[in-house]
Amino acid sequence: MAQASDYEDWRKWHSARYLFSERTKHFISELDIDLEKLLNSITFGMARSRAKERVIEAIIQGKVGGKWTSQDTPASNMMNEILSYPLARMIVSCVDDEYLNRRYALAEAENAAYYLQNEDDIEVVFTVGRELGLKADKEGGSIAVPFEDFVETTKDMSAKEWKLVNQDLRDGMIYLDKRRYIRILKEKIYHSIVKDLPVAVNKDIQGSLSGMVADVEVKLDELKDTFVEHDLGEVEEGAYPPCIKGLIKEQAGGKNLSHEARFALTSFLHTIGFDEEQIIAIFSKSPDFRLDLARYQIEHVIGKISSTEYTPPGCAYMKTGGLCKKPDSLCGTDWMNHPLTYYSYKKKKGED
């Protein structure tokens, strides 16, 4: 059983903020709580309610707001926050939906990144990083990360900011400021959470959580209703160039699209005839989708906000930005210089 000193140690470090960490997992297992009681006893009713709240916050807001996470939170509430995490994972696993797994994991990672950014003690940040295999040392005013750790962690991050040529690389180490270190740590946190979902949930767990699972499914369905496929009229998906097909696939698969990639995709879709709602429907399948933000960005690109209607970038820009992926033989012709040219050619060919 956990001792009072264990709790004080855990509390000093985490304050219910990094619930995915090994330290917290160890702390929870040391509590040795009976699963049947955790699922059904009135004693843990608040922990279960908070668990449902965590998942619904992830669905609606795309992030989990920390509730009982300050240093002076009463111990009982902090314990509810701690126990809500494994319970929330059980609820997500009962729903058993790939999209929810990713959205929930991303929301928890957002929450953790918020606290890490505001952490006064950099050693807490490093401890979380080390647990996840992202070693770091303080070097002067920077944080030094081994080259290979950096490459492994940023492999799905396509923004220019993360390209190797833009890094401060010295003697096998990449030097980052705290904001950038936490950004890549968030990526690690996301992957560590999502890889363990779904957890095994037997019939007893499913039965005990069925009411909460039903509530979560209603919210998930409401969100998915925004995914409705719009009538694409004359648009021909088969004529999309490989770069655009790749971007659509990546964002639907949970990859974090760079600003440049979002711009390229939005401006291309708008030019071939998608309206705002149709573009939102494409982006809404991404696990980090936030309607307000997506709408603002799209309205900016299609000229509703800025009154400038942006044209999609050509192949040269796409290549420089690492957005030209899997070009095919048509891409290899000497006259191919724009994704729109590819699209028009393919579409015309299809009509012949």
**For ligand SF4, which residue of 310, 327, 345, 346 counts as binding (CB under 6 A)?**
327
Smallest distance from the beta carbon of 271 to ligand SF4, in angstroms? 13
State in angstroms the smallest separation of the CB of 337 from ligand SF4.
Answer: 7
Beta-carbon contacts of residue 257 (< 8 Å; ≥ 6 apart): 158, 247, 250, 251, 265, 286
CB of 317 to ligand SF4, least distance (A): 8
Task: Name which of 287 and 313 has its Cβ closer to ligand SF4.
Answer: 313
CB proximity list for 248: less than 8 A, separation 6 or greater: 240, 265, 282
Distance CA 183, CA 188 (A): 9
Q: Distance between CA atoms of 168 and 300, rounded to whole angstroms?
A: 33
N- to C-terminal Cα separation, the chain: 75
Rank residues 198 and 242 by Cβ distance to ligand SF4 and give the closer one.
242
CA distances from 110 to 23, 32, 65 (A): 19, 29, 9
Tokens describing residue 159 = 């923004």
CB of 341 to ligand SF4, least distance (A): 7
* C-alpha–C-alpha distance, residues 190 and 200, integer Å: 19
**Site pattern 210..249 for ligand SF4 (x: CB under 6 A):** -------------------------------xxx------
- Binding string, residues 59-98; x marks residues near ligand SF4 by CB under 6 A: ----------------------------------------
3-state secondary structure of 259: helix
In what order do the strands lie in the sheet containing 142-146? 137-139, 142-146, 173-176, 168-170
How many chain residues interact with ligand SF4 (CB under 6 A)? 11
Cβ 17 vs Cβ 112: under 8 Å: yes
Which residue of 105, 116, 298, 315 would you call a contact of ligand SF4, by CB under 6 A?
315
Q: Which is nearer to ligand SF4, 146 or 327 (CB)?
A: 327
Question: With helix as H, strand as E and coil as C, how does 206-239 read?
Answer: HHHCHHHHHHHHHHHHHHHHCCCCCCCCCCCHHH
Work out which of 331, 345, 346, 347 binds ligand SF4, going by CB under 6 A. 331
The nearer residue to ligand SF4, 145 or 336, going by C-beta atoms, is 336
Q: Nearest distance from residue 327's CB to ligand SF4, in Å?
A: 4
The CB-of-336 to ligand SF4 minimum distance in angstroms stands at: 6
How many other CB atoms are there within 10 angstroms of residue 179's CB atom?
10
Stretch touching ligand SF4 by CB under 6 A, among 181-189, 222-230, 288-296, 331-339? 331-339
Separation CA 241–CA 102 (nearest Å):
27
What track of x and - describes contact with ligand SF4 for positions 332 through 351 (by CB under 6 A)? ----x--x--x---------
Q: 3-state class of 67 per DSSP? A: coil
Residue 324 binds ligand SF4 (CB under 6 A): yes
Residue 62 or 339: the one with the smaller Cβ distance to ligand SF4 is: 339
Closest-CA residue to 143 (of 112, 116, 114, 109): 116
56/261 with CB nearer ligand SF4: 261
Residues 4-63 contacting ligand SF4, CB under 6 A: none
Residues that bind ligand SF4 (CB under 6 A): 241-243, 315, 318, 324, 327, 331, 336, 339, 342
